[in-house]
Amino acid sequence: MKFVKVLFILIILLSFCGCIPTIQTQGVKKTQEVSIDDQINQLTGQIISSFNQSNVQKIAVIEFADLEGNVTQLGRFIAEELITRIFTTGKFEVVERNLLQKVLEEQKLGMTGYIDQETAISLGQILGVDAIITGSITDLGTNVKINARLISTETGSVFAVASINAPKNDMIRKLLGENIEKNNSINNGNSSYQPKFSGLKPPVVQHGVQFELQKCFYSNNILSFVFDITNLDMDKEISILNYTRDNVLRFFDENGNEYQKAEIFLGTHRSQANWDGVKNKTMIQDVGTQCIMKFYNVSKKPQTIKRLDLLLEIPDLKNVFTITYRDIPVGE
């Protein structure tokens, strides 16, 4: 009888031990990284829930910008994904992106995530939309915080918000313009890892043209900026200007000193005699062109360029816009 009891206890213990691998396996599954698709689905769900509560029927989505107001490929990607996912629900009418861009250009606005109250109301009247989705992207090192704002075109005010915190995987790094390096510090989640870019700053896209700052250096009282500029859309002309009636190409150093007017080289084109800029340079689709801007009479080498304002124009659209860079290190 004792033998039977001992055998029964052993069978129970063995059965219990056999369950342990199953529990461990389930635990591993729970720690798997959430994909960017899942994150955008979550963001879309939050937005749709707010729309359902507000009786929104027609919307427009504007490209998401970083905290400096610049649009990267990630900002364009998020906007495109939201347009597709919201439209496929069959519950909402979404303004076609090219139509939205045309209206923004006619109103002399950029497709960035920063829309003031007056602009929101104006877009609502022109496009007949009930709401506008705008947003911002914040690089937190190992993660990217994506905030969406839902603006009523009737009042111009924010009536709802949505947000996600996405792990910065290889896809997001690429869209941000970083070089992808898989090393132990990344895999181990080392917080000391510093992202690397192919240039000094992530690429910025405005009106279908990508700008990537490659170098900034000082020599013989001349401060030079080197860019790689690529037209991502159909062939078109572009002008890089030194000044207009309202704006100027300029930079500020770490002491607040302002410098204006640069000699500009864009491919084989060079600033005209009066230095008003390089005008009407034909940019071929998907072909990179080097641009060099030289600021003369800079008496002392800056350590950091605190702000650089570029002044550009697409003549066919009669649209002048600016691109701003901040905290640029200066080399030799």
DSSP 140-197: -SSEEEEEEEEEETTT-SEEEEEEEEEE--HHHHHHHTEE----HHHHTT-TT---EE
- 159 and 43 fall within a common domain: yes
CA gap 237, 30 in Å, rounded: 52
- 173 and 44 fall within a common domain: yes
Q: pLDDT 10s per residue in the chain (332 long)?
A: 555 555 555 555 555 444 434 333 344 444 455 677 788 889 999 999 888 888 889 999 988 888 877 777 888 889 888 988 898 888 899 988 777 777 777 766 555 456 778 888 888 888 899 999 988 899 888 889 999 999 999 998 899 999 999 888 887 887 887 654 443 343 444 444 444 445 678 888 777 788 899 999 999 999 999 999 988 877 888 999 888 777 889 999 999 999 998 999 998 888 865 668 888 889 888 888 999 999 999 999 999 999 999 988 888 777 788 888 999 999 87
- Residue 283 lies inside a defined structural domain of this protein: yes
- 169 and 280 fall within a common domain: no
Q: How far is CA 123 from CA 206, 249, 314, in A?
A: 19, 29, 22
Give the count of domains, the chain.
2
- 47 and 170 fall within a common domain: yes
Domain that holds residue 152: 36-177
pLDDT of residue 201: 81
In the three-class reduction of DSSP (H, G, I as helix; E, B as strand; rest coil), residue 63 is classed as coil
pLDDT of residue 307: 93
The residue written with tokens 């080197």 in the block is 226
Order of strands, sheet of 204-206, starting from the edge strand that comes earlier in the sequence = 204-206, 209-219, 222-231, 288-295, 263-266, 269-270
- 69 and 116 fall within a common domain: yes
Structure tokens that stand for 210 in this block = 């990508």
Instruction: Determine contact, residues 297/220, Cβ cutoff 8 Å.
Output: no
In the three-class reduction of DSSP (H, G, I as helix; E, B as strand; rest coil), residue 267 is classed as coil
CA gap 279, 105 in Å, rounded: 19
pLDDT of residue 26: 42
- 145 and 221 fall within a common domain: no
Residue 100: in which H helix or E strand, if any?
Answer: helix 97-106
- 163 and 211 fall within a common domain: no
Structure tokens that stand for 252 in this block = 């500020």
Domain boundary among 177, 195, 228: 177
- Residue 14 lies inside a defined structural domain of this protein: no
- Residue 18 lies inside a defined structural domain of this protein: no
- Residue 323 lies inside a defined structural domain of this protein: yes
- Residue 289 lies inside a defined structural domain of this protein: yes
Q: How far is CA 81 from CA 44, 106, 259, in A?
A: 9, 25, 41
- Residue 30 lies inside a defined structural domain of this protein: no
- 171 and 209 fall within a common domain: no
Residue 227: in which H helix or E strand, if any?
Answer: strand 222-231
- 243 and 153 fall within a common domain: no
- 140 and 235 fall within a common domain: no
- Residue 183 lies inside a defined structural domain of this protein: no
